[in-house]
Structure 1
Amino acid sequence: MTRGGRTKDRDAGPERKCIATGEVQPASGLIRFVVGPDNQIVPDLMGKLPGRGIWVTANRAALDKAVKKGLFARAAKQPVTVPDGMVDTLEPMLARRVVDLVSLARKSGAAVAGYEKVKDWLSKEVAEVLIQSSDGSERGKSKLSTPHYGRFIGWLTSDELGLAFGRQTVIHAALGSGGLTQRVVEEAQRLKGLRIGPTDERSGGRGRPKG
């Protein structure tokens, strides 16, 4: 496991081919689209809408290329309409999905917020994921480190983390083991591709892997 939230090959799950890059990769790193009844392209973030899936890597470059080059119509093998500003709407949709999943983890007892609680979980090796807001103090965030062999999420704002924990703002949070943790990591990684790009591993927070 890496700081960027990538999974090892054995955890990769099913693979799909991106219509923009031509690369085959785990479906968790792509966004699924389907053609709606009105021949309009519809994002399917939960992967449950009926119809043949059209997959695009979760980053702006790939999505912009798919739109500008007419790749959705080519993949669907029929004329389709892509809503104006669709790529821009995906970022808040993904952010809300991550927030909702963290909130569910909190309600199940698998997530905590606040510097002292996060520090305690890290010291006891309960935490599997360190989450720090992108707009928090770099000095404060540098005092906490990503769990050994754990994950780091640093591209949610303090307001977004606050929503997940029922507070105004949250700077530090952590996820323990549980079925929701992997889903949070995967959705956060897709958000990262749209929000800060696929190569920036250091947006928000300075927690470093140990060892």
Structure 2
Amino acid sequence: MTVVRLETGADLRLGNEQAPAAAVFVNGGTARVVPGTWSATSELLANELAPRFPELAFGELRYRLKTWHALDSCMDDARAALDLLGRPTLLVGFSMGGAVSIGVAAHEDATSVLGLAPWIPDRLPLDGLIGKRLDVLQGAWDRGLPGIPGVSPASSRHGFERARRLGVEGSYTLIPRGLHGAAVRRRSGALVRLPRADAWIEGVGERLERFRAKQQ
């Protein structure tokens, strides 16, 4: 894996760098304005799936600041990642990363968005998805708790249906007993797989397979 500094000052961690198409994992955020971190869920998914898809470059985005109070900044970081890669890209947005991915979906190299428990607030314009595709994977037991970000199925489904009313093609899939993502990180930095992590991995893998097939 190689870490590349983007024009905005954000970082993109890359594997399978020379592949002709890419999947970029876009991180979630917090209410507090804090420096960007690597996403535990994205890291687990990339570690598990990159060896299975050598035809795809895998990028993990670390924002300059990871907060939903600076969405424009996060979107600028995501656009910088797309500009750097310069190839057909599937955006895989986790939690707040769903909003960020949708916000930059109009970019010429963004072919589609895969939202993982995506936050899709009503104020977010969805026009950039027109002519593209939005797929959603959502943990059935996901909820926002005091001090712990989460996205309920009702919330992500509402955003998905907004896109469908614009004519956007896609799918919405619940992961039974799934929580908010596939992994969390210990203070030591080690990843801890959440219950149903394998279902998240396989669900993302199926959609990567579809994306890969379209690039051939």
Instruction: State the TM-score, normalized to the length of structure 1.
Output: 0.31
Larger Rg: 1
Return the structure number with greater helix share. Answer: 1
Q: Which is strand-richer, 1 or 2?
A: 2
Larger RCO: 1 or 2 (CA < 8 Å, sep 6+): 1
TM-score normalised by the chain length of structure 2 = 0.31
